[in-house]
Every structure is written in structure tokens, then in C-alpha cells.
Amino acid sequence: MDGEWSTQASRIIYEGLILNLRLDEVRLPTGKIALREIVEHRPAVAMLPVRQDGAVLLIRQYRDAIRKEILEIPAGILNTGESPLEAARRELQEEIGYDAGTLEEWGSFFTSPGFSDEKVTLFFATDLVESRLEPDDDEFIHVVPVKREDIPVLLASGRVEDAKTVAALAWYLAKR
């Protein structure tokens, strides 16, 4: 089917701080034209930080999109000119107060490719050393350590409601 899709027209209807909204008219392989509502989003990083004792450091923070607090791995949007690795180290220091001696890139994935191009690069962060950077002034974060042996029960409990966090925790279990 490659090459049979094409974008006939494209219009940005909102340009914002972290995202733009774009309306595309796409031509399907059948020749039909369909509308697509697309959110262009700045790229992001997420990190699974694991302490010497094997505990994973999650964070709990308020999210206005869903108007409640949820449990997530540390994450953030790349600043202009910043590499994913640089962003990962900065966000770890801002959000949990640690720098990572070792950052292993596990992969990159789109958070919701049906409507958005947001891509998150996931790092496995170990050899943690205390190092705090001032967090953004709109971030209020609680660190929640979780023992490795408690992760299966936590996943099954439904208390992890964030896709990247489910992916990172399940991948961590699957790898070892």
C-alpha cells in the first residue's frame, strides 16, 4: 500500500506552545478523500530509573488533561536544540533529584499514532547519583519507589494508568 497514500491539502489551525493542530485531506488508495485531525507535538523522553537496591522510582503528579494525579515514570519534552540524552539527564535531575551514570536507550515510540506525531524515547537509567536541578515552576512531584517484586501486582492492579509507564515496567520485567 506504500506510495498510494498522499496528503492533498494540509492546514495548521492552531499553533501553540507544546502542540499544533493540523487538518489534512488525505487521498486514500481508492482515490477517496478523507479528513484527518492531527496533533503535531514536540518530541519527548521518558526514563525508567532503577536504584542500586532494584527499586524503580515512579512519580505522582497532577495532569490537567485528565484532572487528577497519576503514577508515571519521569518524562518531559525536549528543549530546543537538546538531544534526547541531554533531556533525559535534565529531567531526571528536575523530577527525582538524581543524575544517571548510565542511560541505556531502549527504543522510541509514538504515543498515539492515530492522531499525533508525539514520539517518546525511552531510557533505562541506572548508577543514580544525587543531583538536583530546580524543577519547572509548574511541576509538583512526589517520588514513589516501587520494589521490583511488587511491579507485577502493581501492573495487574490497574493503578498504572499511563501507557509509557506500563510499557517501561512490563519491558523491565520481560527483559530480566
Q: Comparing C-alpha atoms, which of 164, 155, 161 is closest to residue 76? A: 164
Size of the site for a copy of itself (CB under 8 A): 71
Is residue 147 within the footprint of a copy of itself (CB under 8 A)?
no
Please answer whether residues 167 and 75 qualify as being in contact, where contact means their C-beta atoms are separated by less than 8 angstroms. Answer: no
Contact letters for a copy of itself, residues 10-29 (x by CB under 8 A): ---xx-xxxx-x--x-x-xx
Q: How far is the CB of 152 from a copy of itself (least distance, A)?
A: 7
CB of 137 to a copy of itself, least distance (A): 7
- Residues in contact with a copy of itself, shown as a per-residue x/- string from 77 to 116 under the rule CB under 8 A: x-----------------------------xxxxxxxxxx
Amino acid at 167: A
Place of cell 527504543: 107
Site string for a copy of itself, 61-80 (x = CB under 8 A): xxxxxxx-xx-x--x-x---
Beta bridge partners of 19: 41
Determine the Cα–Cα distance for residues 89 and 121; give it in Å rounded to an integer: 13
Is 12 or 131 the residue whose CB approaches a copy of itself more closely? 12
Q: Does 150 bind a copy of itself (CB under 8 A)?
A: no
Least separation in angstroms between residue 132's CB and a copy of itself is 18
Considering the complex, state which of residue 26 and residue 133 has its C-beta at the smaller distance from a copy of itself. 26
- Taking CA atoms, 24 is separated from 11, 38, 164, in Å, by 6, 7, 27
d(CA 130, CA 144): 16
User: For residue 49, what are the contacts with CB-CB under 8 A and spacing of at least 6?
Assistant: 56, 57, 73, 74, 92, 96, 98, 100, 125, 126, 128
Q: How far is the CB of 75 from a copy of itself (least distance, A)?
A: 7
Choose, by CB under 8 A, the member of 91, 95, 99, 162 that binds a copy of itself.
162
The distance of closest approach from Cβ of residue 175 to a copy of itself in the complex, given in angstroms and rounded to an integer, is 8
